[in-house]
Structure 1
């Protein structure tokens, strides 16, 4: 029984930690600073398109947290295993990647010298969207932590990390930002060079 509660406490704590940083801290501070979320500027004039985005986000919350819901409702008492440690390590890696990328971009934007420019330093020199890769990785870690207790229909939780990747790379995250960046810097050779040399999602290995 202790293992069940420990695993549940672990997943719930990881979820709260992520939500506090990503939603309660980083995004809130960004909106306070900018006064808006510019990613939605082109959608706001169109009610149904804007409504669809918010509906997708509601679906995202539900599907992404499936491992947490399942674990919280499970009575399985299997002991903690190496799989739990693997999932936790993936979560820590993904969370650290996301937090670091967010901080680097915030510091870049706060520097007046960089106004109107695109970021290529730090993790942003290894991936054009390292924060989204980090987020995908941490949710994969969450799913892995839940796998020791999954059986039968509960394996539907595998939808969680798959959905996160598809949402961020095909729907609301990367596509919107790539389109905005192309409109802003698409005619610049320096930006085209950055796109050619920097992966869009999975980071490349840093050069030695």
Structure 2
């Protein structure tokens, strides 16, 4: 991985370029929250609101300089599809803004605030850390079946390959001490682009207890009372 850009202005330039690249992606059976508006749930100009959320996040992260990164698989239909923020649902927008110091985050949907189980576990863990990690997804969009737009599926290899440069670009902005892959699919994606990382148990599907233990082990004194049960 390349070293951190020498100046914050260069990092911001790379972030703006990343946002433009994200918004340009169009793939079958893939919802791009920075390009598409959902007729069932979105407010007017929702894609633009999510773009603004992402820009505010990246600028805040550049200023914060996180030492670690957590990479998930895809955006979920109850989480990042709606917020435009990795591993974050609408119920945790306030926590996200506080953790990163991100200003101007907006709810981009007009329907009831949505909660996602994975986001709840992720933000429970982040709340126990002294500083937040950089959050991202190997495939930064919401893949779905053709007849089920509000369900989740794993991205396909051809879809990842079409967007692999975006993952490289996101990680190139920073210089992390450690990159963590949340689950086997995220680990496989990072391996395909040659990014050294540690694989952790994904907190979904009964993996939350092991995920919490691994977080406590990895962060040590940098974590505060992460609950092992519940």
Calculate the TM-score normalised by the size of structure 2.
Answer: 0.29
Greater relative CO (CA pairs within 8 A, separation 6+): 1
Structure number having the greater strand percentage: 2
Larger Rg computed on CA atoms: 1
Structure number having the greater helix percentage: 1
